[in-house]
Structure 1
Amino acid sequence: MGEGGSSLDVVMFPWLAFGHMIPFLELSKRLAARGHTVTFLSTPRNLARLPPVPTSLSDRLLLQPLPMPTVEGLPEGAESTADVTPDKDEIVKKACDGLAVPFAAFLAGRREAAGLDHCRLLPPLAPIIPAAMNALFGPRWANAQYPRTAPEDFTVPPKWIPFPSTIAFRRREVEWIAGAFKPNSSGLPDTERFWRTEERCRLIINRSCHEFEPQLFDFLTGLFRKPTVPAGILPLTNLVTDDDDEEATADRSEVLQWLDGQPPKSVIYVALGNEAPLTDNNLHELALGLELAGLRFLWALRNPTAGGVLPDGFEQRMRGRGVVWRRWVPQVGAFLTHCGWGSTIEGIVFGQPLVMLPLVVDQGIIARAMAERGVGVEIARDESDGSFDRDGVAAAVRRVTVGGEREAFAGNAKNIKDAVGDQERKEQFISYSPNDCFHERACALLQGHDLSGTMVCNISQMPTHTGSA
């Protein structure tokens, strides 16, 4: 749409995981800042835990709750994947299916309020995963033509990728992707949900950019036979902090004071997300590896699945050299990460070299891409069971932070930061002008359609309901 066109009425409905909800909220802010009306849908507890909407956008960005269905096996009060252990994710998908009825009622109410005879949906599929994962999943037709039936089939790039590629899983990682092609307790395979959503959409939008994933967007447009465009990397416009909590503010001040007392670029920041499936042994080996590396560290240990039982005496021995922190903390000199896409983007935005410990889902694919770009290294793992030890942790940390390759890793990280960090280009990704970056294909797709009064339903890997709603 040109600058003189009508504003859009956008509905965002992301999958019930904070790694999806937070970037969708960032996209919502950017659209609302351009004068579009955005309604962000989720369940009450999820909305309450999201960062507050800036006052300047509150008249155009509305957080709308939908009641969380009661599902057998889902703990009371659980409304996102952060509230359950990984083995219960499938129950969250089943609960999300139950949101189809209140979602349909919401749309009907908006249609009636707008005085429309019908409510036209133009649903793009908007994954928060990198475009490489779309290439790995592939459309239904490609999987039918090139079936993958054994775990080993996922350790090489799919046959529909015509150029040299590292888009493949390692043997230790294939259990998840092979399982995604099989029905789970929610009743549907994850791939079937992906395909149904993709087949119903008119375009695909990825949280990525050409600079980060060159040649993939043109390729995916042909593979999925519909425009596949980048939204940019959508870095956070503000940190998720407890700004109204005086105790939290004092705690953050204490962390910053400790950091200020360390030499520049001497501290490695360790964070493995809120849902990392770490066993007690994983946690111990990681801790002892950091101790063995002999470097300063700041470890954000917010919500480890294993309960956060560190080795006896670890924190006392590390006093003065390392801090284990259980609140939000700022990025520092280098980053030990699980390579969740959101965390990786945060590292990219701050130009940090990476020590990588991918754990689940797409994290291995992301780690491979980062290693290929010379941004960092993976911690050595046993290929049969994925285990790692303190010596592998220490070796990877030293290689990135004090080894002979340190300057190369830091330089490559800065180069990527510079390539994706141009503010004007980031803003262009969200523009609707045919002359801007959000792109000729998407604009050509929407040209000729009267979008006034139209609702655009943006679904990020949301489980697709099997009924008409």
Structure 2
Amino acid sequence: MAGHHHQQGASSAPLHLLVFPWLAFGHLIPFLELSKRLAARGHFVTFVSTPRNVARLPPVPAGLSGRVRIVALPLPAVDGLPEGAESTADLPPDKVELLKAAFDGLAAPFAEIFAAACSGDGSGEQAEFGRRPDWIVLDFAHYWLCAIAEQHQVPCAMFGIFTGSALAYVGSRRENISHPRVSVDDFMPMPTWFPSPSSLSFRRQEAAWMSAGFRPNASGVSDIERVWRTEERCRLLLFRSCPEVEPLVFPLLADIYRKPVVPAGLLLPEDGRPDGGDHDDDSADIIRSGALHWLDEQPPGSVLYVALGSEAPVTVEGVHELAAGLELSEARFLWALRLPSGGGAASEATGAPSPPLLPDGFEARTRGRGAVCTGWVPQVMVLAHAAVGAFLTHCGWGSVTESLRFGHPLVMLPFITDQGLIARIMADRGVGVEVARRDDGAFSRDDVAEAVRRVMVEQEGKTLALNARRLRELVVGDDGGRQERYVDELVECFRRHSFNDSALRN
């Protein structure tokens, strides 16, 4: 990490930041990456989560461990939430709202230890958080936390791990009152306050998913209401993005939300560190050598890496169509295959045998040009491998940013949240091709094969690859330091907007 040249000025005392992500690995990992970068600049970070999530985090590098303190708050029990389920990865999608209800139960224990940290003088090491924090960096879900912080006059910053375009699409409470969206149709185009190309829109079933976020769930508070209540009391909005990827968004967001909107950069992970999830080191080593060893045998740039993230709601039918499409395309592929979420549990409940995950004989027929890994795969190391020429992805922002760093063109198969929007942004930048889909979101093997061939075989693929490399140069910069400079600017922003030099806002 480019930490060594960031010397603290004598006048600028190190900051203490309390960092608290939502309980999903797609949130925990970027928050941890931000924490490591702040620690590399000499600042102190208290990272808060629940015990099981803390146990599953990749270790903080030894050189930084003295400046990153990890605090585990036990998650309260909630009726219907399975015991030991502490992240969205532990649950089928319909149970996530119960996780939000449990999460809201952390308000009282958090308030108690936060008060202790703020009343202490920082000398008592027994205090959970050490000295009083200068800032709290929180997530979309923490609408109850700003009130606790305000009692102790500690400012909050909301860190969005999604694109700026997604937050522009949500819009402020004020914009939504002036331009209400009611039907699913209303949620398909980008809103009137976001002047954008018409290609930037949601498909019907993506829009249905987005509009659901505006309705209350089992936790009693809708996701969008969480965003608004949190955002309204934060001094800064931070994003895991940058103007190179989303050129028009930052000035527009400052206008919509009427406060500073700061790019944190893409926070790209270092090469080859695990991306969370359960795995012990022995099995990780075996799988690591397996996937990478297989890639070593393939010609440069010839392999399509296929990974739909850990939580894409793919059905067994979807997996079968994807497999058949890969087979039809005749491209080489390395597929990091995860079990469909909640699929197994449903079958157990009915007593019916669960259908086989891959089509009959698929692995035998594709042997030699295809490999399927069902364990943990070191995604960053795979994307960095010379044999990989393109990436078939669900368009989760974490995966897309990792791919941008290596300049790979994309075959795009988005499912939920802002993935459709990310796919359209990348298509607009000329770095990817989306798999065609029906209105209900279903896709066929022919759609998969066609998109794969366009990227891997046809002339169009060369243009996409060139555009992807250009975007990589733009994003990473010549010396690789451009993304690190966003973190330096973010630290300056924390100093400029902290309470000690300006009166309380609001």
Provide the TM-score with structure 1 as the length reference.
0.90
- Deviation readout 1:408-429 (Å, 9 max, x if unpaired): 1101111111111133221111
Aligned-partner Cα distance in 1 for 2:99–2:27: 14
Aligned 8 A contact 1:136 1:168 in 2: no
Report the AA paired with residue 406 of structure 2.
F
Aligned 8 A contact 1:227 1:442 in 2: no
The answer to whether structure 1 residue 62 and structure 2 residue 69 are counterparts is yes
Residue matched to 2:351: none
Cα distance, 1:188 vs. partner? 1.0
Aligned-partner Cα distance in 2 for 1:260–1:162: 46
- Deviation readout 1:76-104 (Å, 9 max, x if unpaired): 11000000011111111111111111211
- Deviation readout 1:96-133 (Å, 9 max, x if unpaired): 11111121122112123326897322101111000001
**2:107 equivalent among 95, 100, 111:** 100
Cα distance, 1:172 vs. partner? 2.5
Residue matched to 2:41: 34
- What root-mean-square deviation, in Å, do the aligned CA atoms of Structure 1 and Structure 2 show? 2.2
Aligned 8 A contact 2:301 2:389 in 1: yes
Give the structure, 1 or 2, with the largest relative contact order (CA under 8 Å, sep 6 or more): 1
Instruction: Give the unaligned 5+ runs of structure 2.
Output: 1-6, 123-130, 133-150, 345-355
Matched residue pairs, number? Answer: 445
Aligned 8 A contact 2:268 2:402 in 1: yes
Aligned 8 A contact 1:282 1:388 in 2: yes
Report the AA paired with residue 229 of structure 1.
V
The answer to whether structure 1 residue 250 and structure 2 residue 305 are counterparts is no
Aligned-partner Cα distance in 1 for 2:493–2:83: 45
Structure 1 residues 259 and 441: CA distance shift in structure 2, 3 A: closer
Residue matched to 1:145: 178
Residue matched to 2:412: 356
Aligned 8 A contact 1:111 1:119 in 2: yes
Residue matched to 2:463: 408
Structure 1 residues 70 and 440: CA distance shift in structure 2, 3 A: closer
Give 3-state SS (helix, strand or coil) of 1:111's partner: helix
Structure 1 residues 14 and 247: CA distance shift in structure 2, 3 A: closer
Aligned-partner Cα distance in 2 for 1:388–1:416: 29
Aligned-partner Cα distance in 2 for 1:401–1:430: 35
Residue matched to 1:419: 474
Which is further off, 311-320 or 165-174?
A: 165-174
Report the AA paired with residue 481 of structure 2.
E
Report the AA paired with residue 404 of structure 1.
Q
Aligned 8 A contact 2:304 2:333 in 1: yes
Residue matched to 1:365: 421
The answer to whether structure 1 residue 168 and structure 2 residue 185 are counterparts is no
Report the AA paired with residue 421 of structure 2.
I
**1:6 equivalent among 13, 21, 24:** 13
Aligned 8 A contact 2:395 2:414 in 1: yes
Report the AA paired with residue 161 of structure 1.
F
Cα distance, 1:442 vs. partner? 6.3
Residue matched to 1:393: 448
Give 3-state SS (helix, strand or coil) of 1:204's partner: strand
Aligned-partner Cα distance in 2 for 1:163–1:346: 25
Residue matched to 1:195: 228
The 5 Å alignment of 1:281-320 reads 281-305=317-341, 306-307=343-344, 309-320=357-368
Aligned-partner Cα distance in 1 for 2:188–2:79: 36
- Deviation readout 1:424-453 (Å, 9 max, x if unpaired): 22111111xxxxx439876653486289xx
Residue matched to 1:49: 56
Which is further off, 273-282 or 114-123?
A: 114-123
Give 3-state SS (helix, strand or coil) of 2:408's partner: coil
Structure 1 residues 377 and 449: CA distance shift in structure 2, 3 A: same
Aligned 8 A contact 1:229 1:442 in 2: no
Aligned-partner Cα distance in 1 for 2:16–2:502: 12
Give 3-state SS (helix, strand or coil) of 2:312's partner: coil
Report the AA paired with residue 237 of structure 2.
I
Cα distance, 1:263 vs. partner? 1.0
Cα distance, 1:258 vs. partner? 1.6
- Deviation readout 1:10-53 (Å, 9 max, x if unpaired): 00100000000000000000001111110100001101111001
The 5 Å alignment of 1:443-454 reads 444-446=496-498, 449=501
Residue matched to 1:454: none
Aligned-partner Cα distance in 2 for 1:113–1:346: 41
Aligned-partner Cα distance in 2 for 1:84–1:336: 25
Which is further off, 242-251 or 421-430?
A: 242-251
Give 3-state SS (helix, strand or coil) of 2:411's partner: strand
Which is further off, 235-244 or 154-163?
A: 235-244
Aligned-partner Cα distance in 2 for 1:164–1:447: 40
Structure 1 residues 156 and 251: CA distance shift in structure 2, 3 A: closer
The answer to whether structure 1 residue 131 and structure 2 residue 131 are counterparts is no
Aligned 8 A contact 1:157 1:166 in 2: no
Residue matched to 1:430: 487
Cα distance, 1:177 vs. partner? 1.2
Aligned-partner Cα distance in 2 for 1:450–1:53: 34
Aligned-partner Cα distance in 2 for 1:344–1:277: 18
Aligned 8 A contact 2:291 2:377 in 1: no
**1:204 equivalent among 228, 234, 237:** 237
Which is further off, 245-254 or 369-378?
A: 245-254
Aligned-partner Cα distance in 1 for 2:103–2:304: 38
Give 3-state SS (helix, strand or coil) of 1:312's partner: coil
- Deviation readout 1:354-375 (Å, 9 max, x if unpaired): 0000000110000000000000
Residue matched to 2:140: none
- Deviation readout 1:254-306 (Å, 9 max, x if unpaired): 32222111111111000001111111110100011001111110000134323
Report the AA paired with residue 430 of structure 1.
V
Give 3-state SS (helix, strand or coil) of 2:481's partner: helix
Cα distance, 1:181 vs. partner? 1.2
- Deviation readout 1:43-74 (Å, 9 max, x if unpaired): 01101111001110111001110001101111
- Deviation readout 1:205-230 (Å, 9 max, x if unpaired): 00000101102111111110000110
Aligned 8 A contact 2:153 2:499 in 1: no
Give 3-state SS (helix, strand or coil) of 2:335's partner: strand
Aligned-partner Cα distance in 2 for 1:25–1:275: 19
Give 3-state SS (helix, strand or coil) of 1:125's partner: strand
Aligned-partner Cα distance in 2 for 1:410–1:164: 23
Aligned-partner Cα distance in 2 for 1:54–1:2: 20
Structure 1 residues 102 and 441: CA distance shift in structure 2, 3 A: closer
Report the AA paired with residue 251 of structure 1.
I
Aligned 8 A contact 1:71 1:91 in 2: yes
Residue matched to 1:463: none
Which is further off, 342-351 or 296-305?
A: 296-305
- Deviation readout 1:161-180 (Å, 9 max, x if unpaired): 24546443111211111111
Aligned 8 A contact 1:166 1:368 in 2: yes
Aligned 8 A contact 1:136 1:167 in 2: no
Residue matched to 1:75: 82
